[in-house]
C-alpha cells in the first residue's frame, strides 16, 4: 500500500522540476494526480511519465496568479477525481537578480503575483474544497529564501517569507476542521530555476554544481526526488501531527 493510496493530489507547476518529481511520487505512492502548469507541453509530459508507471493523472492548464483560472482548476480537479485530499502549491518563479534599489517594479510585481498571490489564491480555493470534503493536507513551496535573505533577490525573498506566513495562518485557521498546512524550505535543488540563479550570479563562468555544491554543509545540492519525498510524506496520514511548520530541506544550509 502506498503512503497516499486512494487519495487525490493536485500539484501546481508540475510540468518540470520539483513539481514534476512530486507528481510522479504522489502517483507512485497510490494517489490520483492532477498535474497543473502554465506550460502544457511539460504538464502533458509529466502525465505521460505517470501513466507509464501505471499511475492515474490528468493535466489541467492554469496560471496560479489568475483567480478565475485557479477556481476553474479546482473545479476541474474535483470533476476529474471527485474530491481533493492533498495539494502542493509549487508553482514559482525566481525573476532577476538585481541590487535592491535597482529592482524594476515589474520584476517585483510578477514575482509577488506568482509566488505569493498564486499561493494565496490556491490555498483559498483548496481549503474551500477541503472543507466540503471533510479535511486534507497542503504543502507550500517556500525556500531557504523564506527564512533568510539573499542579496539581489529581494522580491523572491519577500515572496517566500510571505508563503511561510500564509502557511502559519492557514494552519491556525483550519486545523480544527481537519486541514493541515505546512511549508517546506528547500536549499539548492537541481532544476532549471537553480541553473538560472547560478547563471545570473556567475555569468556562466562555472557550472551550477561548482557554484552551489560547496554552499551546502552536506557538500552537494539536492534532487527534486529528495524534496518530493518530504512533500508526499507531509501530505500522508503519517504526518498527522505536523501543521503550521516551515521545514528546511537544505543539506544544512540554514544551520550555518
Ligand X SMILES: NC(=O)c1ccc[n+]([C@@H]2O[C@H](COP(=O)([O-])OP(=O)(O)OC[C@H]3O[C@@H](n4cnc5c(N)ncnc54)[C@H](O)[C@@H]3O)[C@@H](O)[C@H]2O)c1
Binding site for ligand X (CB under 6 A): 12-13, 15-19, 37-39, 42, 63-65, 90-93, 114, 118, 141, 143, 186, 188-189, 191-194
Closer of 32 and 117 to ligand X (Cβ) = 117
Contacts of 91 by beta carbon, 8 Å cutoff, 6+ apart: 12, 13, 19, 36, 37, 38, 64, 114, 118
Q: How many CA atoms lie within 13 A of 77 on its CB side?
A: 29
Q: Which one, 30 or 118, has the nearer CB to ligand X? A: 118
Q: Give yes or no for a contact between 116 and 163, defined as CB atoms under 8 angstroms apart.
A: yes
Residue 30 or 142 with smaller CB distance to ligand X: 142
CB of 176 to ligand X, least distance (A): 28
| 174 is annotated as an active-site residue | no
> 49 vs 42, 57, 164, CA distance in Å?
11, 9, 31
* Cβ nearer to ligand X, comparing 191 with 201: 191
30 or 187: CB nearest ligand X: 187
Rounded-to-10 torsion of CA 53, 57, 63, 65: -100
Catalytic residue among 120, 156, 174, 253: 156
Q: Shortest Cβ distance from residue 49 to ligand X (Å)?
A: 13
Query: Cell numbers 471527485 correspond to what residue?
Result: 82
Shortest spacing between CB 157 and ligand X, in angstroms: 11
The least distance separating ligand X from the CB of residue 155, rounded to whole angstroms, comes to: 12
Least distance between ligand X and beta carbon 5 (Å)? 25
**By C-beta, is 151 or 175 nearer to ligand X?**
151
Shortest Cβ 63–ligand X spacing (Å): 4
- Active-site positions read 156
Amino acid at each position: 500500500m502506498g503512503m497516499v493510496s486512494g487519495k487525490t493530489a493536485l500539484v501546481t507547476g508540475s510540468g518540470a522540476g520539483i513539481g514534476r518529481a512530486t507528481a510522479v511520487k504522489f502517483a507512485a505512492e497510490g494517489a490520483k494526480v492532477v498535474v497543473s502548469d502554465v506550460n502544457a507541453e511539460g504538464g502533458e509530459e509529466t502525465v505521460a511519465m505517470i501513466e507509464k508507471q501505471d499511475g492515474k493523472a490528468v493535466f489541467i492548464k492554469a496560471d496560479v496568479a489568475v483567480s478565475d483560472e485557479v477556481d476553474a482548476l479546482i473545479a476541474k480537479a474535483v470533476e476529474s477525481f471527485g474530491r481533493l485530499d492533498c495539494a502542493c502549491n509549487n508553482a514559482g518563479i525566481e525573476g532577476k537578480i538585481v541590487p535592491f534599489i535597482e529592482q524594476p517594479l515589474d520584476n517585483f510585481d510578477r514575482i509577488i503575483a506568482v509566488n505569493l498571490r498564486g499561493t494565496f489564491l490556491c490555498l483559498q480555493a483548496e481549503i474551500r474544497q477541503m472543507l466540503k470534503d471533510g479535511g486534507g493536507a497542503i504543502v507550500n513551496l517556500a525556500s531557504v529564501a523564506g527564512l533568510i535573505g539573499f542579496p539581489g533577490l529581494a522580491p523572491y525573498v519577500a515572496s517566500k517569507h510571505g508563503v511561510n506566513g500564509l502557511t502559519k495562518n492557514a494552519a491556525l485557521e483550519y486545523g480544527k476542521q481537519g486541514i493541515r498546512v505546512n511549508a517546506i524550505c528547500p536549499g539548492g535543488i537541481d532544476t532549471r530555476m537553480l541553473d538560472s540563479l547560478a547563471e545570473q550570479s556567475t555569468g556562466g563562468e562555472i557550472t551550477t554544481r561548482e557554484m552551489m555544491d560547496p554552499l551546502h554543509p552536506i557538500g552537494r545540492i539536492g534532487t527534486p526526488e529528495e524534496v518530493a519525498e518530504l512533500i508526499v510524506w507531509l501530505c500522508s496520514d503519517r504526518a498527522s501531527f505536523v501543521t503550521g511548520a516551515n521545514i528546511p530541506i537544505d543539506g544544512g544550509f540554514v544551520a550555518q
